[in-house]
Amino acid sequence: MVRIAALLVAFAAASAQAADAPHRIYAQELVDRAVAGHPDIAEVEIHAMPPKSADNVVIAAYNGHPGQKADPEDLDVIKTGKPATGVNKAGDRYEVNLPLFDASHRTVGGIGVAFKYKAGDDKAALDKKATDIRDRMARRISHVANLVEKVPYDPAAVSSNTLAQKLVDEALDANKDIVIIAMHAAAPGNAEYPIVASNIGRIGKHADEDDMGVIKSGKPKLEINESGDRFESLGVLHDAGGKLIGAVGVVFPYKKGDDQQALHKRAEALRGAMAAQIPSADRLVQAVPSSVLEAAGRAELPGYEGDFDHFEVDLKGGRLFLAAEDHNTLEVFDLNSLKHLKTIAGVETPHGLLYLPDVNKLVVTQTGSDGATKVIDGASYQIVGSFKHTKGADSMAYDAPRKRLYAAAGGRDMKQASTWLVELDPYTGKNYGELKFDTDKVEAMAIEEHGNKIFINVTGKKEMAVVDKATLKVIATWPIKAEGQNAPLAFDEATRRLFVVTRNPGKLLVVNADTGMTVAEFKAPERCDQVLFDKAHKRIYALGGEGYIGVFAENDADHYEELPRVSSAPGAKTGILVPELNKLFVAASPGDSKAMAAVLVYNVK
């Protein structure tokens, strides 16, 4: 009988030398991806001992030696888990040898990466780069046998740049602890519900008995693996219209006593967030256009269980402030690195934030037992002032040219039947006047910079009020005729268009700011707490708790189109656009999903 090692030698060699071969092994695909993203790589080898093999051999390589047995140094790295590094004899390569892990951090072999090198290059930086390459590979390895599986299972399968793979990749980015996500769908011309996207290859592999059982019955299957260190929630996948189109398996790390139902609930929320972004099964395997938002970082907040509210930035000081509504704190981050810098206590249910750079102070509306707006010193982070006449203020907006702050006080959070729009000086707290609304629910505001109007979503009456800044009186009232509660609001003063998002159901309404007439209407994510207008790129971003960002292009005042949705995370429903940095920051609240609290950052393209 031909030994499996000999077969692997031939298979790996063929993969490395023939780009037009019908199949490769999965390890070779991982190597090729790494090389494509790092032009300074001179050589890569993956060595492993697959099932039924007696030797640890090089199974995939770039400029390496497929089939060659691992040398003693390689074996020592695998055995001890300690890296081995050094410059080669010629002095033109820096070599890093590391143990290779699977997605559960189990050792499956070793990886050697050699970089082009010249004297004086930063060795520590190259060590980190090699480790990052190894860790990204590990995220996409199920177990050692996975490394020698053929790629793709079906030569006709499409495995990259599809909507399906985009959804899987973004879900993994948003959930660092998840081990595996595999999506099965009824792809065009294939009724076997093959894998159309995953983080472990196997694209084109037909659904097995368990997968088909879930798809046919509609009932999820929950299972612990044989070694007891992984828990899988396998459940059905729907499209945005509710049609059953396949199944998604989500695998979590597991130890005895872990709450299986809590993990299953997280998997269900993930499948629901995916479904909201799938127009149909056919679209899953089609190429997706480049996104206008590029995920660029994430800062996690372990232990946070509630909701976040709004952001504010200090550009000069490089700080990002976040109202941790249900934690009764403000969280401060480095604007560039997202490193958590400070937790500010002493606020109760904070909501809106305004930073005054000329005096280095932060104004915070809140709805706790005290309810008064607080002023925080930006240097000491101590509370140095309080505006008593704004009790229960939530929504706020700043008229920068006039240096006036408008806050919606009273209402439901203060157990009052009415709400007041309060105009004040944010520097001194001087009250310039109040306007009463006979409802307990007033939401977001938009203010003209070059005019005299304030637009306010009077949510409790399903209206928008237009207020004259000079008299602080309502000069027009427009009914919001769409279903749902009108809440978030943004404004393009140049085109005279307001962007209103309703909740339950989520809709984006484009409203003429002079007449109140609705110009366009789109589906928006549910549980949206913030809509933002990108003046530079003429785009609207609707941030929703469903786990995606709705993106819409403003072609002109009366013509709009929906662009590809951008995956975020469950509960990612508030954010701030920082045009000076060309970045969008989003707060992902755990809320009911119990996902990890986080701040996400996107590059705006």
The pLDDT-based confidence of 66 (bands split at 50, 70, 90) is: confident
pLDDT for 392: 76
With contact defined as beta carbons under 8 Å apart, do 262 and 286 qualify?
Answer: no
Mean pLDDT across 530-551: 94
pLDDT for 537: 94
The pLDDT-based confidence of 414 (bands split at 50, 70, 90) is: confident
Q: Which of 308, 312, 360 is nearest to 333 (CA)?
A: 312
- Alpha-carbon distance of 477 to 435, in angstroms, equals 14
Q: What is the per-residue DSSP string for 181-231?
A: EEEEE--TT-TT--EEEESS--TTPPP-HHHHHHHHH---EEEE-TTSSEE
pLDDT for 410: 86
Return the CATH number of 4-148, one of 3.30.70.1520, 3.30.450.40, 3.90.1170.50, 3.40.1410.10. 3.30.450.40
Q: Which residues lie across from 235 on neighbouring strands?
A: 248
- Alpha-carbon distance of 76 to 195, in angstroms, equals 37
Planar angle of CA 269, 153, 270, nearest 5 degrees: 5
This prediction has a pTM of 0.61
Compute the chain's Rg from CA coordinates.
Answer: 28
- Alpha-carbon distance of 577 to 543, in angstroms, equals 11
Mean pLDDT across 31-60: 88
The answer on pLDDT for 187 being more than 70 is no
Query: Is the torsion defined by CA of 374, 417, 437, 591 positive or negative?
Result: positive
The pLDDT-based confidence of 131 (bands split at 50, 70, 90) is: very high
Mean pLDDT across 95-106: 97
- Alpha-carbon distance of 244 to 155, in angstroms, equals 26
Peptide bond into 152 cis (omega under 30): yes
Residue partners of 50: CB distance under 8 A and separation at least 6: 4, 5, 8, 59, 144, 145, 147, 148
Mean pLDDT across 452-471: 96
Q: What is the per-residue DSSP string for 236-291?
A: EEE-TTS-EEEEEEEEEE--TT--HHHHHHHHHHHHHHHHTT-S-HHHHTSB-PPP
The answer on pLDDT for 185 being more than 80 is yes
pLDDT digits (tens, 9 = 90+) for 332-359: 999 999 999 999 999 999 999 999 999 9
Q: Which residues lie across from 135 on neighbouring strands?
A: none
pLDDT digits (tens, 9 = 90+) for 394-403: 889 999 999 9
The pLDDT-based confidence of 157 (bands split at 50, 70, 90) is: low
pLDDT for 12: 39
pLDDT for 18: 33
The CATH classification number of 346-479 equals 2.130.10.10
pLDDT for 11: 37
Percent of the chain scored above 70 by pLDDT? 94
Q: Which of 46, 48, 45 is nearest to 5 (CA)?
A: 48
Residue partners of 47: CB distance under 8 A and separation at least 6: 56, 57, 58, 59, 70, 74, 109, 110, 111, 112
Mean pLDDT across 506-526: 94
- Alpha-carbon distance of 105 to 171, in angstroms, equals 19
The answer on pLDDT for 562 being more than 90 is no
Mean pLDDT across 285-307: 85
Provide CATH 3.30.450.40 ranges for the chain: 4-148, 152-284
- Alpha-carbon distance of 349 to 447, in angstroms, equals 25
pLDDT for 7: 34
The CATH classification number of 289-303+483-605 equals 2.130.10.10
Mean pLDDT across 308-317: 96
Provide CATH 2.130.10.10 ranges for the chain: 289-303+483-605, 346-479
The CATH classification number of 152-284 equals 3.30.450.40
With contact defined as beta carbons under 8 Å apart, do 361 and 377 qualify?
Answer: yes
